[in-house]
Structure 1
């Protein structure tokens, strides 16, 4: 696990300097991070892949901040996730700790950061980012356009929305059958337990 420290807009770490962090980022992204981190005492941890989350933010007992981001992410997604987590830090510092983690204050902060750094993203992604910024979602998976952009379909794997009602599929080594579509989600039954679950339309599954 690599650890970076940002203080007063300067990256200071004798073992892992700024030019190493840039390997995780799109071109020209670092100046935005230095400006956003500003004078805050923040520990940035780059972790191994985590299926449950792409990144997170937390306020530490000593009043410093900690952000973690999966180091296996493609550079543009890495920067997007880091921007999301930094928006928590900036929103809490500006509006106070009583705001909702993904409330209007966070949305406004995240929106402004996305538009400010729009030039970092590739042309075909800029339109998706601009559309997303109108109403930022708390969960990356809640934005089908972003998911499809970063998670290309692999041979043997499909998005649930591309399967038919009644088809069977494998998800995390469990077999399911699609029962029906409910608004933007799919009600599926686990054939082992009999329990039913709602899947997002862009959930990647293995078709039987």
Structure 2
């Protein structure tokens, strides 16, 4: 297992992650990309702890996703199955598990202050922290032809991953208000949502 992890994790995080996986009896599956999530955790009918993580994540995002999912497992085991999935118990557990990894041997220097800020109050997804998400994205292996919502001019049309088409109309606090062209319904998008800009 540690040989497999070397392909996906920063070098100095491999042994600690391997120990966490062993200690918590995790069955880890590295899977093809899912657009809606980076990873997930569930306990199956036989009582096995199953964690999946997307194979296409860069090594820093892979590490954060793996620890995020192990934190679900540990929080449920410690506090019971009825806690909120991303409530205070999970946040405390995620912080405690993640802090030992937030050091220059593991993460590049430019990410360390962003991670320190993020883990003061971790969110359900690092994608909702636009600054951290953009900083992590620069380490992705492949460039893609997608744009971020915040880069698009107001009034432009764009397509999201499932083919639905929207028009960007306004900024509301931190998120962008966009109208779906086929229904006229208003949706709010994170500034770092990746979309395909359509020709005007």
Q: Give the TM-score normalised by the residue count of structure 1.
A: 0.83
- How much has 1:23 moved relative to structure 2? 0.9
Equivalent in 193, 198, 206 of residue 183 of structure 2 = 193
Structure 1's unaligned 5+ residue stretches are: 1-16
Please list the CA deviations of residues 59-93 of structure 1 after superposition, one character each: whole Å capped at 9, or x if unmatched: 12222201000011111111110010011111112
Paired residue for 2:80?
96
SS at match of 1:29: helix
Larger radius of gyration: 1
- Detail structure 1 runs of 4+ shifted over 4 Å in the superposition: 152-156
* Larger proportion of strand: 1
CA RMSD of aligned residues (A): 2.0
Residues 111, 136 of structure 2: 8 Å contact kept: no
Residues 186, 198 of structure 1: 8 Å contact kept: yes
Paired residue for 1:142?
128
**1:66-145 pair list within 5 angstroms:** 66-119=50-103, 120-145=106-131
Q: Give the TM-score normalised by the residue count of structure 2.
A: 0.87
Q: Distance in 2 between matches of 1:63 and 1:155?
A: 39
Please list the CA deviations of residues 5-30 of structure 1 after superposition, one character each: whole Å capped at 9, or x if unmatched: xxxxxxxxxxxx42122111111112
- How much has 1:100 moved relative to structure 2? 1.2
Equivalent in 151, 168, 172 of residue 162 of structure 1 = 151
1:63 aligns with 2:47: yes
